[in-house]
Amino acid sequence: MRELYTKAVVLLAVLLSSTMVHSQCEEITIESLSNPGVYDVATLTEADGLRNGPDYFGATVYYPTNGTPPYASIAIVPGFTASPESVEAWGPFYASHGIVTIIIGTNSIYDFPEARAEALLDALETLREENTRNASPLLGAIDEDKFAVSGWSMGGGGAQRAAVLDNSIKGVVALCPWLPNPDLDHDSAVVIFSGQNDAVAPPGIHANIHYDNTPESTNKLLFEIENGNHSVANTPEGGNSSVGKIALSWFKLYVDQNDCYCSLLTEDLLDNPQEASNTESSFECEVLDTQENVSQTILYPNPTRDIINISTQQDVRYTVYSTLGQLMLSGELKGNLKQINLSSLAGNIFYVRVNNETFKVLKTQ
């Protein structure tokens, strides 16, 4: 039974990837990268039953309360002598865009990058355990194949080193990273932010070297903020909000594996950005043509409370799947009036497949 379910999920993923380009990508714009995003956010701490990891000190998990799991995740650690509050703005920002975020402290504020790398890996272990903890609101809601790490200053250097230590990490967001003589042989897609006037981790001996020492085969991006100091990337608002928009787009593209964000990066955010004093990049992604395969079939209203009307002259077969790939409804419709009744389903997002086209539909309560 489990094998059949897995095959159904894989089949659904294949079908969606080939037919939902237009409906998905048209919702992804520069405006959709706003702070905050569309989801409500709640937090978890050790007082709520969160694991106390031995390689870090204290943690807060930020998570969306009304998103659609399973969620991708990111772990974030601060810099030398700094507290988690120095980077806490990233927690609600990421979570409001559907990303589970754990921000940790260090066992010693004087920990060097390698210890911060171990702390990040321990934080990811906490998320794995949260995914199986019966009392957790995130039980079964975390995609353990979509983890990223991030950090500021020595934490940024630690994030790069964490990717070297754990090759399952899909992405790195390094915030003005500090790490001399770095060994960064990993294939985790990495975006490196730096400040032009950073006196603590000058780009010429830190961020730029990190970029150069990351393999050419790794998708990588360096974004230096004009007149930026060492804390210019501590919040998503850095660089006139370019830091948050680029970090989110990079995460969605390479960790969440959503190719719709490729064009936002290549055609908008990185096309002669006014906020940057220097950019370098070596990455590949698929720019999707949102004008291809535009549907001649219309489903309305969307969102809906119960009835979906299908505007097409053809007889149709339809199936309705949950976001986890479960078949919820199916049938055949003929004649002029074609309707699908969703009243038996709870409010949620569903994928409605009509003949060879698939649509994302929001059913309200």
Residues shown for the chain = 365
Distance CA 208, CA 140 (A): 39
Distance CA 17, CA 34 (A): 25
What token pair was written down for 146? Answer: 């979509």
> Strand 41-44 and strand 59-64: pairing?
antiparallel
- Alpha carbon 27 to its chain centroid, in Å, reads 16
- Tell which residue, 282, 265, 359, has the closest CA to residue 33: 265
Distance CA 151, CA 124 (A): 14
Phi, psi of 70 (to 5 degrees): -80, 150
Helix (H) / strand (E) containing 350: strand 348-354
Distance CA 165, CA 258 (A): 25
What token pair was written down for 304? Answer: 């809906």
Please identify which residue in the block is written with the tokens 């985790």.
Answer: 188
- Tell which residue, 114, 120, 49, has the closest CA to residue 84: 120
What token pair was written down for 338? Answer: 């074609």
**Cβ–Cβ under 8 Å, residues 98 and 37:** yes
Positive or negative: CA dihedral 31, 33, 39, 42? negative
Q: What is the largest CA-CA distance in the chain?
A: 72
**Catalytic site positions:** 153, 198, 230
- Tell which residue, 166, 176, 141, has the closest CA to residue 55: 166
DSSP string, 27-45: T--GGGG-SS-SS-EEEE-
Please identify which residue in the block is written with the tokens 């897609």.
Answer: 189
